Amino acid sequence: EEMDVDTIWMDGEFVPWEEAQTHVLTHSLHYGTAVFEGVRCYDTEQGPAIFRWEEHLDRLYQSAAPLGHDISHDREELTEATLELIRRQDLESCYIRPLVYYGYNSLGVSPRDCPTETTIACWPWGTYLGEDALEQGVDVMVSSWRKHHSSQIPTNIKATGPYINSMLAGEEARSNGYVEAIVLNKEGDVAEGPGENIFMVNDGEIFTPGLSESILDGITRQTVIELAEELGYTVHDEASISRGQLYTADELFFTGTAAEVTPIKTVDDTVIGDGSRGPVTEELQSRFFEVIERRTDDHDEWFTYV
């Protein structure tokens, strides 16, 4: 299936889709040494706007550093390239995928002689976990795969190789008839979804695993924590959540750029709450969509208008 993309930005050039290619001996293809971002541009009441672009750029540069990538494009250049890609393709809302990888020079594990190459692509992308997911919630299973510990592979950066863990957990869930997985960390406590952070609601308070639980510090996670606190909720954002607590939670939901705010309906076939989107999830979700669709004046600082 060909994506609805006609232009891809590659190190300063706007390249036609079919010419956006790299060699099979690309270092990052062999060793998973690329870093990337996933960002959404929303069709707001004030036109297309990229949500929290600056934070995604921060994380891209942070992800690059420990892998030794020296991104030879500054923030302004990457921003201009992205805005131009959206304008040229007349996109109103889209998903944005910056990718920074080691190209070809040699194929030793050391990337020292390999060039760091940067690409950006944008394409239309709807809801991630299915049409009804945002309203009805999703059925998930606890994966038999554990999330690698942050001392084994950094979990606070977005590198490509570690997505093997996400892919295995997600495919295991889908093979078993579930929509998505929940992945436990090495200690057996709740970490996150394959491409989502997870939140739990109990007695009107909100809990989410802390960064020391080997999770990605999702930008949607940060957003939902901030919005929840503004609404007056107590948020425990360094919680340790046991597997058992999943099944007895009042409410559970996922957050992520792709998943946005998605309620979890069942875990391992155990119904969570009364099996429908809970009241706290619903309030946070509608506040989230109010903000991203710009039906409110506040948090305009989170938007980069195209």
How many residues touch ligand PMP (CB under 6 A)? Answer: 14
160 lies in the binding site for ligand PMP (CB under 6 A) = no
CB of 220 to ligand PMP, least distance (A): 3
Q: Which amino acid is at 274?
A: D
Distances from the Cα of 239 to the Cαs of 198, 213, 250, 261, in angstroms? 11, 9, 16, 19
Look at residues 33, 16, 12, 19 and name the one whose alpha carbon lies nearest to residue 105: 33
Residues 44-76 as b/e (b if ≥16 CB within 10 A, e otherwise) read beeebbbbbbebbbebbeebbeebebebebeee
State the Cα–Cα distance between residues 187 and 191, nearest whole angstrom: 10
Q: Does 48 bind ligand PMP (CB under 6 A)?
A: no
- Contact between 278 and ligand PMP by CB under 6 A: the answer reads no
Residue 180 interacts with ligand PMP (CB under 6 A): yes or no:
no
166 binds ligand PMP (CB under 6 A): yes
Contact 134, 285 (CB under 8 A): yes
Question: Residue with CB nearest ligand PMP?
Answer: 218
d(Cα 276, Cα 64) in Å, to the nearest integer? 40
Q: Which is nearer to ligand PMP, 137 or 218 (CB)?
A: 218
Instruction: Work out whether 198 is an interface residue with ligand PMP (CB under 6 A).
Output: no
| 158 is an active site residue | yes
What is the footprint of ligand PMP within residues 121-140 (CB under 6 A)?
none
Catalytic residue among 147, 158, 186, 265: 158
Q: Are strands 116-123 and 303-305 parallel, antiparallel or unpaired?
A: unpaired
SS3 137: coil
Read out DSSP for 221-243?
HHHHHHHHHHTT--EEEEE--BH
The binder of ligand PMP chosen from 195, 209, 273, 278 (CB under 6 A): 195
Q: Which of 181, 170, 142, 139 is nearest to 266 (CA)?
A: 139
Contact residue for ligand PMP among 44, 257, 266, 281 (CB under 6 A) = 257
Nearer to ligand PMP, 114 or 169 (CB): 169
Given the complex with ligand PMP, which of 139 and 196 has the nearer CB atom? Answer: 196
Stretch that binds ligand PMP, among 68-76, 116-124, 188-196, 199-207 (CB under 6 A): 188-196
* Nearer to ligand PMP (CB atom), residue 26 or residue 208: 208
Print burial letters for 15-26: b (CB count within 10 Å at least 16), e (below 16): eeeeebeeeeeb
Site residues for ligand PMP, 200-219, by CB under 6 A, read 216, 218-219
Judge whether 182 and 143 are in contact, CB under 8 Å: yes
Choose which of 48, 98, 256, 278 interacts with ligand PMP (CB under 6 A). 256
Instruction: Give the nearest distance from C-beta 98 to ligand PMP in angstroms.
Output: 12
**Separation of alpha carbons 192 and 178, rounded Å:** 16
Is residue 20 within 8 A of residue 81, CB to CB? The reply is no
Q: How far is the CB of 212 from ligand PMP (least distance, A)?
A: 15
In the complex, the smallest distance separating the C-beta of residue 166 from ligand PMP, rounded to whole angstroms, is 6
Of the candidates 192, 213, 237, 251, which one interacts with ligand PMP according to CB under 6 A? 192
Q: Which residues are catalytic?
A: 158
**Given the rule CB under 6 A, which residues bind ligand PMP?**
38, 166, 192, 195-197, 216, 218-221, 255-257
